Every structure is written in structure tokens, then in C-alpha cells.
Structure 1
Amino acid sequence: MRRWKPQPSWRFWAASVLFLLIAAAAVYTLIPVGRALALPPEAWPINAQLFAQGLLGLALLSLAGSFGYQIVATATLWYGLDRDGLYIYWLGHRTVVPMQMIEHVASGVTERGANGHLLQQIGYFYGAGRLANGQTVQRFSTVNPKRALGIQTPTEIYLISPRESAAFIQELEQRRRIGPIQQLTPGIEAGSIFFYAFWTDKVVQRALVLAVLLHLVLLGTLMALYPSLPALIEMQTDPSGQALSSVPRYQILFLPLAGALLGLLNLGLGLALYQRTSVGARLLQLTTVGLQILFLIAAATILL
């Protein structure tokens, strides 16, 4: 199999600069939060502003991580050809396009929707989309779709940008005329390094999003109410409602901390189990949602 590197593009360097700038902004935003939490618990300046600052820092850190992923994906992108098909590799993943399904090669795709949204143009043009004419497009190009090669199949167009595109087209046509030796199955063969199958599971995605939102509601509410709480709060009561023990108010923040730690534990177990039992991995993430609801109820019981 001959290996074809993609054409060089300024988008890779733009993504690298954005990654560095956003990562620096995230660190700059989170440093004051770290300093505040480095104080003794009794002196923590907990309030809604600190919550918003921490949330912003984590959001910037997540965005920087997304750009970092795209940088590595761009650096590892390449195309392969043999008698049986076209292969697109990135980050250990492989997209297979059987040779018998390739109808023709278009020089550039100009239909509306080929470019995707702005975030799908960082590093390289990536992701699936739908063109104005209704066709599905799969983007794997480091150059604008107008200058990319469009590999047309009965159901999809694959946008690629190999160096020496004329030689690539010539070799592709030669292999099409020779014909395949074996029939391949089209689609994505996911690598295991980034747990692609786990993160793209719809049940897992929805459970994780819901769990994170519930956790943020709990943490944000507690931090917003924290300045108005008394120095000592009642954590346990008897059946008649009389307080059994009072603790410093900062201990109420252990509820979201416990929720986060249990959520991370379930996430790690889900990643480890998904290949063997996807149902079990999904149930773990749904359990995380239930735990966040229980912690919300516990917090409401203490505060009301």
C-alpha cells in the first residue's frame, strides 16, 4: 500500500497558535481559583463569582483540549490505496472506502455545506455534513473543499487532499480498472487509544451531559448561597427534626466533591468495560445521573 501525505496547510499552524493562546488563558483564569482554594477551608472565599471564574477556566481548558486533539489528528492524517480500497488514517482510526463503491473523482466540491461550521475547519476540514443537494459529505481535507478531491460513492462524498493529487488520481483509476481482490466493508474502524466507540455512544453522551449539568447546578447553587450560610450548619437531625450535629459550613461542599469523584470513577470503569459490555458501561453513566440527583436532594434537605 502506498502512503499519501496530505497537502500542507496554514490551518495546522493556526490551530497550534489558538491552542497555546487558549491554554494560557485557561491557566491565567484558574490560577486565582487555585490560590483561593489553597487557603484554610474556613477562609475559602466561596461565592458565585468564584464559581463563574472556575467554570470559565474549565471551559477554556476543554476548548484547548479540543484544539490539541485536532492538532494531533492533523499531524497523523494520511491516505492509503490498494486494489481493494481507499483508506483514510488519523489518530489510530481508519475510514475504509471499498474500491468497487467509488464511482468517480471530482476536482473540488463547491456545494453549500461542504466546509462545515467554523470549528470543523480547525487544523483540517473534518466531520460529517450534508450538502445543499442532499448528499452526505465526509471531510478529511487540509485544504478548502473547492480545491480538494471529492471521492464519490453512491451514498457519500469523501473530501481528501493528498499531495501530488494528479499522481494520486492516476493510481486510483488504475486500481479501479484492475478491480478488487476482496470485498471490503465501508465505514470507520475506530482505534482504541481515545475510546472512540465509547465517546460516540448516544446513550453515554446524553448521560454524561445530563450528569455534568446536574453537577454544575448543585455546585453553582451551593457556591452562590455559601456567603449567606451560618458558620455552622446542621448536617444531621433526628426524626423530630432536632439537630444531632453541627459542622463548619465548608463541609457542605463535600457533596459536589463526592459527586464528582463518583462520576469520575464510573467514567473510568465505563471506559474500561465498554469493549466487553457496552450495556454495563451505559448503566454506569446512567448511575452517575442518579447519584447527582441524590446529592441535589441531600443538599436541599440540609439547606431547607
Structure 2
Amino acid sequence: MTSELHPHRALGVLVGAALTLWCFAFTVALLWRGLTQPIDLATFGLHLTATLFFALGCLFGYWTYSCLTLKYFLDRNGLTIHWGDIRQLIPMDRIERLVPGRELPAPKVTGVSWLGHHVGHGAVEGLGEAIFYATHGSHEELLYVVTADQTYGISVTDEVQFAEQLQGHQKLGQVVSLPQVTERHSVAALPFWHDGLAQVLALAAVIGCAVTLGYVFHQYPGLPESIPFPFAAQGFGDKEALLSIPITGLGLLAVSLILGLALHALDRAVGYLLFLAGIGTQIVLLSAAIITLNQ
């Protein structure tokens, strides 16, 4: 029989939701201000800041969802911690003892950590390095699950009941031998997050797009209404047509990143090629903008 245990998550979810909404509200405010301003470098700065806050809001949203889904499953095979798309497997035969947090000094958790939600690593005096999947408000609410190789900090509503259930499952004995590992599913399982080269290439493509946008926005205010276009059939065009260059860059960047992430999971070389194609595209578009504005 499997016991499903839920920690107190309300405070962590509320704080995370507030942080998420604040980021998205700030994003909307910056975008609104940017859309009502003339096109120049300052406006580009507003859009860039809005993009950063949007990305931060997405992160807080995912972490809040993970806090909402935090739960512990206990059966005769072991303890399984669910946090978002991550599963932490702890075999029953590896669990040596339980240590209440009130018996130890308060740890400092580094990682995803805010009031009512603490997931990450931290040093615990007397136990060493620990991995935390907890929603504690005070270190006294923590319960440490100690194994030979690793310590885990969790927060259960009833420590005595948890200890009794653990002992009961240990007496039954394991049916399946579990590995002591961290499993990742869905987006968290993408190999991109563990491939430094892929991350550098993707970041370079993003920076290239930002440079193209910044260059066009910086030059735009001083341009005449009609400018020469070496690539246009008429030879001249309205300066607003110049904006099609960075807009095209944004679209192609999105395509290269999405396809790169998807195909990188199947074949790293293909993913690298798509990220490189994204970089090359941004270089070509930046060159086109420079040629157009320096005739």
C-alpha cells in the first residue's frame, strides 16, 4: 500500500503566485510604455527589459506549479518525492534514520527558495550536504531522511505518523529494488539543460537578435522618411520597412530555438546545426541592416 503525503503548500504557492503575477504585470506595463513611445534605443531597452521579466515570470510560474505538486509517496520499496517534473527516488533499504530539524541548526538553502517553498541544496551541521524538497517556514518543521550517500530535507505534517509508516513499510521488505537517483520528465528531461555547448549556441543566437534589434532601433530616429533599399526593386522605400529586418530575425530566432530544442533531444549534432543556423541568420540580417543604413 502506498501512502501519499502532502506538505503544507498554501503559503509557498501564494508567494510564488504573487511573484509570478508581479513579473507578468511589470512585463505588460513595460510593453505598453514601449508601444506608446517613439522607436529609439530607449524603447528597445523597455522591450528588452519586458522580455527578461516575462522569462522570469515563466520561471516563477513553473516553480510555483512545482510547489503546488510537491508530495511524498511512501511504500515498501522506498520514498519518492514529486516536485513538478522531477522525481527523487530513495530506496527503502538505503534509509538509515530520520532526524527532526529542531535538533539541528537552521540550514541555508541555495536554489529555488522563498517563504514556504525551499528546493535546492544546503549544508546541515552534523549531516553534511542535503537536498531539500520542503515547504517549511521554520527549520524546526524539517525532517531529514538520512541515507549512506545523501541526506534529504522534507516537511511532513506529522513526523510521528511518517516514522511509523516508514517502519511498517521497512518490516514488509522491498519488492522492487529502486535506484537512488533523480528522474526528470517532460521539459525537465530535455538534454539541453545539461549541454553547455548547446546553451552557449542558443544564447549567442538570442544575443545576435538583440544586437540587430538594438542597432535598428538606435539608428531609426535619425533616418529620413524615405531611405534607399539595395535589396528592393524600386531602390527606395519607407523607413518603416527597415523594421521588417529585426522582426524577421525574431521570427527566425523562435523557429531555430524551438526546432533546436526539440531535435537536440533526438540528435545533438542536428540541434547544434539549428542553433548555428540561428546565429548565421542573425549575422546576415545584421549585415543587411548595416548595408542598408550605410549607403
- In structure 2, relative to structure 1, the CA distance for the partners of 1:115 and 1:144 (3 Å cut) is farther
Contact 1:136 1:155 (C-alpha < 8 Å) held by counterparts: no
Match of 1:84 in 2: 77
What is the distance in 1 between the residues matched to 2:166 and 2:80? Answer: 12
Unaligned runs of 5+ in 1: 37-44, 238-242
**Aligned residue for 2:283?**
293
Given that 1:74 and 1:123 are in contact with CA atoms closer than 8 Å, whether structure 2 keeps it comes out as no
Gaps of 5+ in 2: none
Question: Which residue identity does 1:46 align to in structure 2?
Answer: I
Q: Distance in 2 between matches of 1:197 and 1:279?
A: 15
- 1:48 corresponds, among 36, 41, 45, to 41
**Structure 1-normalised TM-score?**
0.82
Tell me the secondary structure at the aligned position of residue 242 of structure 2. helix
Q: Any idea what the Cα deviations from partners look like across 1:61-89, whole Å, max 9, x if unmatched?
A: 22222222122111111110122221111
Q: Provide the rounded CA distance (Å) in 1 between the counterparts of 2:199 and 2:115.
A: 23
Distance 1:289 1:131 in 2: 44
In structure 1, give the amino acid aligned to 2:164. Q
CA deviations 1:200-228 (Å, max 9, x no partner) are: 23233322222222221221122122112
Name 2:89's counterpart in structure 1: 96
Aligned to 1:156: 150
Q: Does 1:114 align with 2:121?
A: no
Change (3 A) 1:132 1:209: farther
Given residue 254 of structure 1, which amino acid in structure 2 is its aligned partner? S
Letter matched to residue 75 of structure 1: L
Alpha carbons 1:143, 1:161 under 8 Å: kept: yes
C-alpha spacing 1:141/1:219, structure 2 compared with 1 (3 Å) = same
Q: Please say if 1:28 is aligned against 2:29.
A: yes
SS at 1:236 equivalent: coil
Does the 8 A contact of 2:121 with 2:130 survive in 1? yes
User: Which residue in the other structure is 1:126 paired with?
Assistant: 119
CA contact (8 A) 2:115 2:137 kept: no
Superposed, 1:148-187 pairs within 5 Å as 148-187=142-181
Secondary structure of 1:103 counterpart: strand
Corresponding position: 1:217 with 2:211: yes
Does the 8 Å CA contact 1:145/1:159 hold for their aligned counterparts?
Answer: no
Are the structure 2 counterparts of residues 302 and 280 from structure 1 closer, same or farther at C-alpha, using a change threshold of 3 Å?
A: same
Hey, what's the Cα distance between the residues in 1 that align with 2:200 and 2:125? 29
Aligned to 1:42: none
Hey, what does 1:39 align to over in structure 2?
A: none
- Cα–Cα, structure 1 residues 122 and 259, in superposed 2: closer, same or farther, change >3 Å? farther
Query: Contact 1:67 / 1:122 at 8 angstroms: preserved in 2?
Result: no
Distance in 2, matches of 1:22 and 1:139, equals: 26
Deviation at 1:59, TM superposition (A): 2.1
Query: Which stretch of structure 1 is more off in the superposition, 204-213 or 127-136?
Result: 127-136
Q: Within 2, Cα distance between the matches of 1:267 and 1:137?
A: 35
Please give the secondary structure, in 1, of the residue aligned with 2:164: helix
* TM-superposed deviation, 1:278: 4.0
